[in-house]
């Protein structure tokens, strides 16, 4: 896709802002519990759903037409006898997540975590006829993805994963002058790790985590069959009390714990599949001793020399190797597939799925699947150096859709080539909407890939 690199990073999609989004920067809720899917329509009217209050059981037979105030809000199933197949795929996208920007950008070197990342994906959805936009798409929005409003995550929800000190520090950024933010350190004496800050960072981060929650919540309530959350800043590197690697809140882990709390036995077991090219250290930390969260990460590791290894404030040894399998009641629930080299492609990833990931996931039998959907293993990404094609991502998605009765949420993580992430995300969404994946060109895994997967298989055979 052709994006104008010279365009303003905030205003390219002003038409979306005026028709479907809020304006202004309200203050994040600092306490209280989630009250369900709520927001403001394009006409300024407020709306809310009370179906998802903590303690209430979801009522899949009652479809709330006031889920959002948008014209492209999710519709009920078209056919009573095909309730899943005739439901829409959900979409979370909010232009306000682009307010998190570099205050002192380099003139030549654009930061990889570019605000245009989410715009590129949304535009690709619109151009492919998957997402509806007033004045651009056809008149009937019921054939597109159903739009789900992103809410701001609350302090209570954040603290299911992070400490109060971490939440307070993120919130404090909104009141600090630009010069102070340039020199800011979350922990005095420790420089920030691959992070830029702005006064709008707390707001965008709150929407990102809240967007992940609302995507998962809409699925569990039966409003959509599955969902894609186009969110930023990403989250899987954020640890209990550390913002790092472009991440502030661990979006996927927060959404997991919120849904476990709200939906009880109907969402007891959650499978998180992380295909971002970097290890999701934050997700691993958040779920390491949890017997009800299966975390599987495929990532370049290079024997402990690839980010985020060697970047930790506590100087820990390699954290994303195949030997980290969980602890206590969560022993066996952490599965790392660490590639010893870059350059892995479709065949390597599919081999790992067939040999390790799907057999373990089927035995685990989850109630919900969440993809930490980073696209920096895609062909063309400047950081990942791997060769996964859009068809490869589609095939992985197709296999995951066989789990949890199809309840699957994809939440954007990394991916820094605008064209690659747009094409890859589009392939994933088409599969989620019911299209079959394109054929793979190469189905023979590399020798290195086979060796890496067999190493994991031997380790995990102790638990599965």
Query: 142: pLDDT confidence band, cut at 50, 70 and 90?
Result: low
Residue 300 has pLDDT above 50, yes or no: yes
User: Rounded to whole angstroms, how far apart are CA atoms 398 and 402?
Assistant: 7
When the pLDDT of each residue in the chain is averaged and rounded to a whole number, the result is: 87
Residue 209 has pLDDT above 60, yes or no: yes
Lowest mean pLDDT, pick from 73-87, 168-182, 375-389: 73-87
User: Rounded to whole angstroms, how far apart are CA atoms 134 and 141?
Assistant: 9
Question: What pLDDT is recorded for position 139?
Answer: 54
Question: What pLDDT is recorded for position 8?
Answer: 40
Question: What pLDDT is recorded for position 295?
Answer: 98
- Provide Rg for the chain, Cα atoms: 20
User: Rounded to whole angstroms, how far apart are CA atoms 142 and 77?
Assistant: 10
Q: Which residues are catalytic?
A: 237
Query: 72: pLDDT confidence band, cut at 50, 70 and 90?
Result: confident
Q: Structure tokens of 43?
A: 């006409």
State mean pLDDT over 305-334. Answer: 96
Residue 17 has pLDDT above 70, yes or no: no
Lowest mean pLDDT, pick from 135-139, 174-178, 351-355: 135-139
Question: What pLDDT is recorded for position 7?
Answer: 41
State mean pLDDT over 295-320. Answer: 95
Give the pLDDT confidence of 392-436 residue by residue, as tens digits: 999 999 999 999 999 999 999 999 999 999 999 999 999 999 999
State mean pLDDT over 204-218. Answer: 98
State mean pLDDT over 204-213. Answer: 98
Task: Give Dmax (Cα) for the chain.
Answer: 61
Question: What pLDDT is recorded for position 48?
Answer: 35
Length of the chain as a residue count: 464
* Start-to-end Cα distance in the chain: 43
Give the pLDDT confidence of 25-44 residue by residue, as tens digits: 444 444 333 333 333 333 33
Write the CA distances from 448 to 71, 325, 452, integer angstroms. 50, 22, 6
Question: What pLDDT is recorded for position 320?
Answer: 97
User: Rounded to whole angstroms, how far apart are CA atoms 319 and 275?
Assistant: 16
Give the pLDDT confidence of 151-195 residue by residue, as tens digits: 999 999 999 999 999 999 999 999 999 999 999 999 999 999 999
Phi, psi of 14 (to 5 degrees): -65, -25
Query: 106: pLDDT confidence band, cut at 50, 70 and 90?
Result: confident
Question: What pLDDT is recorded for position 141?
Answer: 61
Q: Are 233 and 247 in contact (CB under 8 A)?
A: yes
Which residue did the predictor score with more confidence, 155 or 141?
155
Query: 110: pLDDT confidence band, cut at 50, 70 and 90?
Result: confident
Question: What pLDDT is recorded for position 182?
Answer: 92
Question: What pLDDT is recorded for position 135?
Answer: 75
Residue 247 has pLDDT above 70, yes or no: yes
Question: What pLDDT is recorded for position 69?
Answer: 61
State mean pLDDT over 199-225. Answer: 98
Query: 140: pLDDT confidence band, cut at 50, 70 and 90?
Result: low
State mean pLDDT over 62-66. Answer: 41
Query: 80: pLDDT confidence band, cut at 50, 70 and 90?
Result: confident
Q: Tokens 């889920």 belong to which residue? A: 67
Query: 70: pLDDT confidence band, cut at 50, 70 and 90?
Result: confident
Residue 303 has pLDDT above 60, yes or no: yes
User: Rounded to whole angstroms, how far apart are CA atoms 380 and 403?
Assistant: 30
Above pLDDT 70, what percent of the chain? 84
């Amino acid at each position: 896709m052709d994006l104008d690199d010279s365009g303003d990073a905030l205003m390219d999609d002003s038409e979306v802002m005026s028709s479907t989004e809020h304006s202004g920067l309200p203050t994040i809720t600092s306490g209280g519990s989630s009250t369900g899917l709520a927001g403001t329509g394009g006409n300024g009217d407020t709306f809310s759903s009370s179906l998802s209050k903590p303690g209430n059981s979801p009522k899949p037979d009652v479809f709330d037409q006031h889920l959002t105030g948008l014209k492209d809000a999710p519709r009920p199933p078209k056919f009573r006898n095909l309730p899943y197949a005739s439901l829409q795929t959900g979409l979370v996208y909010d232009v306000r997540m682009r307010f998190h920007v570099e205050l002192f950008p380099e003139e030549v070197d654009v930061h990889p975590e570019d605000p245009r990342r989410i715009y590129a994906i949304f535009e690709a959805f619109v151009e492919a006829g998957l997402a509806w936009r007033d004045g651009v798409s056809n008149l009937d929005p019921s054939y597109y993805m159903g739009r789900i409003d992103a809410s701001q995550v609350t302090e209570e929800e954040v603290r299911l994963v992070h400490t109060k000190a971490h939440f307070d520090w993120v919130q404090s950024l909104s009141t600090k002058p630009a010069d102070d933010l340039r020199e800011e350190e979350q922990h005095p004496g420790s420089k920030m790790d691959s992070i830029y800050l702005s006064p709008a960072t707390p707001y965008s981060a709150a929407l990102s985590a809240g967007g992940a929650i609302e995507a998962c919540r809409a699925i569990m309530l039966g409003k959509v069959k599955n969902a894609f959350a186009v969110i930023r800043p990403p989250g899987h590197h954020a640890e209990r009390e550390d913002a790092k690697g472009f991440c502030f809140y661990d979006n996927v882990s927060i959404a997991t714990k919120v849904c476990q709390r709200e939906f009880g036995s109907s969402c007891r077991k959650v499978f998180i599949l992380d295909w971002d090219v970097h290890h999701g250290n934050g997700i691993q930390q958040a779920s390491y001793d949890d017997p009800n969260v299966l975390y599987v990460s495929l990532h370049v590791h290079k024997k402990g020399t690839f980010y985020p290894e060697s970047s930790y404030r506590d100087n820990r040894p390699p954290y994303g190797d195949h030997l980290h399998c969980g602890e206590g009641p969560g022993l066996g629930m952490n599965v790392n597939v660490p590639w010893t080299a870059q350059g892995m492609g479709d065949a390597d990833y599919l081999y790992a799925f067939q040999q390790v990931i799907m057999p373990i996931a089927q035995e685990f039998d989850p109630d919900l699947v969440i993809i930490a959907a980073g696209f920096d293993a895609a062909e063309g990404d400047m950081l990942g150096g791997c060769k996964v094609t859009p068809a490869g991502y589609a095939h992985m998605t197709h296999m995951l859709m066989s789990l949890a009765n199809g309840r699957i949420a994809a939440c954007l993580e990394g991916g820094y080539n605008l064209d690659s992430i747009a094409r890859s995300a589009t392939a994933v969404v088409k599969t989620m909407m019911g299209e079959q994946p394109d054929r793979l060109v190469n189905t023979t895994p590399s020798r290195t890939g086979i060796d890496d997967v067999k190493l994991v298989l031997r380790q995990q055979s102790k638990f599965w």
